[in-house]
Structures are given as structure tokens and as C-alpha cells.
Structure 1
Amino acid sequence: MYTPIPIKRSSRYGNNYWVSFSRKLNRNVRLFSDLEYDHLVIVETNPLITSFCEQPLRIHQQMDEGIVETIFDMWTLDRDGIETFVEVKYAQELDPRNPKSFRQGQG
């Protein structure tokens, strides 16, 4: 089980801020984009997912441009005990042909 990493609302994370009550967790969940909120709706309504945590884990990874830090958007646990870390992105952010792509050196 994870605990959400505290992130200041004014930080560089996210373009919209949501606070939504989770019936699965019986607590408020903080989200930093419309896409994260949409993903929450899917997680909340999926009966196979038994638990989750938003912003559960900060990692550091060696990339071509050096050490990159990221916080996963969500961790989920399903009925079979399978744990998944999720990073939600719009498809255009991952398209290397898009000059504004996340993968074009924006970290």
C-alpha cells in the first residue's frame, strides 16, 4: 500500500486541479489534470480494481539527457493481487513526430 506524495498545487505538475471523493478509498483524492481525473473515473468504476493510490511513488531514472525524476500518476491493485504503476499521458505527448512531444526533451 502507498501513501500519496504531497505535491503543492502551484507546482509544475498538471494543468488542472481536482479533488474528488473516492468511494473505494473512503477519502479525498487529489489529481493534477483532467486526464488524471478521467482515469480516476475508470479506476473507481472498475470492479476488478480493489485499491489504488494517486501520486504513489517518486523515482529517478537515467535517461539520455541525464537523471530524470518522475512521480507516477497512480498505483492500482486488482483482485488477483497484480499491482500496476500508471502514468497517464495524451497520445500526442508521446508522439516523437510532434514538436511539443513529452519525448522531445521536455522531461
Structure 2
Amino acid sequence: MCKYKPIEMARSMHYGNNYFNTYSIKLKRNVRLFSELEYHNYLTLELDSFVDSFCEQPLKIEINLDEKLVTSIFDMWVLYKDGSEEFQEVKYAKEIEKPPSRTFCQIQKQQMWCEQHEYKYTIRTDKEII
């Protein structure tokens, strides 16, 4: 059972140079992915027997950061068969090795929100996925 529904986003709004629209057997619906790495991450979730459900671009969050209200959208929400959940951000390792960057700030926002709301947060890179 998925408690999230993908946020509708135009292709031109999303960071990423590839677009995949594919059918998920596990979810029984099409999923939209905005990078090759997100697609490979999707495949790992689709084939993982411990994953019960997942949702791409599941939630847009708002968080106060440096006295500014900022937003971010997670790449993936995952529900495991044991009932545990996590939000994931999918990035190439080279993108997160150079703070301060747009990616570094995005991860900081998402980590803070997950800590405040007691959700597990995982950064999935090409080193784990591929």
C-alpha cells in the first residue's frame, strides 16, 4: 500500500537530462524517472524482494533554513516488507563531494526535515546503485 502519490512535474522543471516512463509490475502503474541513475535505482527497488512499495517524487517539503522557507522534493519513498520506510535522494557521488553546491544544500534540507519528522533518510549514489 502506497501512502504517497507522485508529484506531477513537467520534464523541463526537473534537474536531469534523461526521462524514463516505464511500467512497474510491483506498483501496477507507470513510473516517471528523470535521470538514468533514478531509473537504475528504480530497477533495484522493483527487483528487491524486501521492498513492498515505493513512490517516485513522493513529497514536496518546506523547511526553514537560515531563516528562509525553502522547498525540496524527494526522489523516492520506500516501504519495506517489515513496515519500515525511508526517503531517498538519488545522486551521482561526484555531485555530493563538492560542498557548498545546489545538491549539498538540497541534501541538507531533506536531512533536516527527515530528522524533524523522524523518517529514515538515505542518499543513494551510483556507487551503491550501479
TM over 0.5, shorter chain: yes
Question: TM-score normalized by structure 1?
Answer: 0.85
Task: Point out the more displaced range, 13-22 or 56-65.
Answer: 56-65
Q: Note the C-alpha offset of 1:37.
A: 0.2
CA separation of 1:18/1:82 partners in 2, compared to 1, >3 Å: closer, same or farther? same
Aligned match of 2:127: none
- Structure-1 separation of matches of 2:70 and 2:13: 17
* Amino acid aligned to 2:104: R
Question: TM-score normalized by structure 2?
Answer: 0.71
- Structure-2 separation of matches of 1:104 and 1:43: 26
1:40-74 Cα deviation digits (max 9, x unpaired): 00000100001011100001223348433111011
Q: Note the C-alpha offset of 1:100.
A: 6.4
* Amino acid aligned to 2:43: V
* Segments of 4+ moved more than 4 angstroms: none
1:80 pairs with one of 79, 82, 98? 82
* 1:102 is aligned to 2:121: no
2:44 alignment partner, SS class: helix
Query: Aligned pairs, how many?
Result: 105
1:36 pairs with one of 32, 35, 38? 38
CA separation of 1:72/1:101 partners in 2, compared to 1, >3 Å: closer, same or farther? closer
Task: Report sequence identity in percent.
Answer: 50
- Structure-2 separation of matches of 1:14 and 1:35: 9
Gaps in structure 2 of 5+ consecutive residues? 110-130
RMSD of aligned alpha carbons: 2.2
Q: Note the C-alpha offset of 1:15.
A: 1.7
* Amino acid aligned to 1:81: G
